[in-house]
Amino acid sequence: MTQWWNSAYNDVIIQLLQSIVDCLKHRIQNTKIRGKKCELNEESENLKGLFERELTTYYNKKQCMKMNENKGYEERLQELLEEKEKEYVAEIKRVQVECTSKTMSLELQLEEMLKTIEQKDKFITKQIMVIRAYKEKLELNRFARNWPSMHPKHTLQQSLKKYMAHDIACFTFQVQQAGKRCVVISHKTAIECALSA
C-alpha cells in the first residue's frame, strides 16, 4: 500500500510539473498570437498609407493636367484613376477580410488553449482532493491503531467522531491511476475500518 501511495504521489507531482510547463508554453504562444495581430494591423495600415500616397500623387498630376489644354489625355487619365481606385479599394477589402479571418482563427486557438488550461487545473484540483482524502484516511487508521486497548470501545468511537467532525457527509472520488477504480469513503465506513484495524 505504501509503494502504491508513493507511486501515486510521484505521478501527481509529475503531472503538476507538466501542467506548469504547459501553462508557460501557452503563455508564450499567446504572446506570439498578439504579435501576429500587431503585424496584421501594421500591414493594413501600410496599405492604407500607400493608397493615400497614390491618391495624393494622382490629384497632383490632375492639377497639373488642368493647366494643359489636351482634354483627351485628361479624360484618359481620369479613366485610369478610376481603375486604380477600384483596384486599391478591392485590395484593401481583401486585406481587411484576410486580417479579420486570421484574427478570428487566432482567437479560436487562444480559447481552445484556455479551455485546455482550465481542464488541467480541474484535474489537478481533483488529484489534490484525492491525496488529501487518502492522507486523512491514513491518519485515521493510524489514530485508531495507536489508541490504548484499555479504553472502552464507545470511547474510541466518540473520539473518532470528534476527529472526523469536519467531514461527516459522504464523498466520492475517482482515483485516476493504474487501477482506475472508484473508491467511496463515508464517515461510518471509516470508523468501522479504524475499529477493525
**How many Å apart are CA 36 and CA 30, to the nearest integer?**
10
Q: What is the pLDDT of residues 62-80, one digit of tens each?
A: 776 666 656 666 677 788 8
- Round to whole Å and give the CA distance between 146 and 160: 12
**8 Å CB contact between 164 and 190:** yes
Best-predicted range by mean pLDDT among 37-41, 72-76, 128-132? 128-132
Let me know if 85 is exposed, middle or buried by CB neighbors in 10 A (0-12, 13-18, 19+): middle
Say if CB 69 and CB 117 are below 8 A apart: no
What is the spatial distance between Cα 120 and Cα 55, in angstroms, rounded to a whole number? 54
pLDDT in tens, 152-178: 444 555 555 555 544 444 444 443 433
Instruction: Name 194's Cβ contacts closer than 8 Å, sequence gap at least 6.
Output: 140, 141, 143, 144, 160
The more confident residue out of 50 and 127 is 127
Percent of the chain at pLDDT > 90 equals: 0
The arithmetic mean of pLDDT across residues 38-54, rounded, is 70
pLDDT value at residue 88: 84
Q: How far is CA 47 from CA 39, 41, 61, 99, in A?
A: 12, 10, 21, 12
The answer to whether the CB of 165 falls within 8 A of the CB of 174 is no
Which residues, listed in sequence order, are joined to residue 185 by a DSSP beta bridge?
171
Q: What per-residue confidence (pLDDT) applies to 134?
A: 84
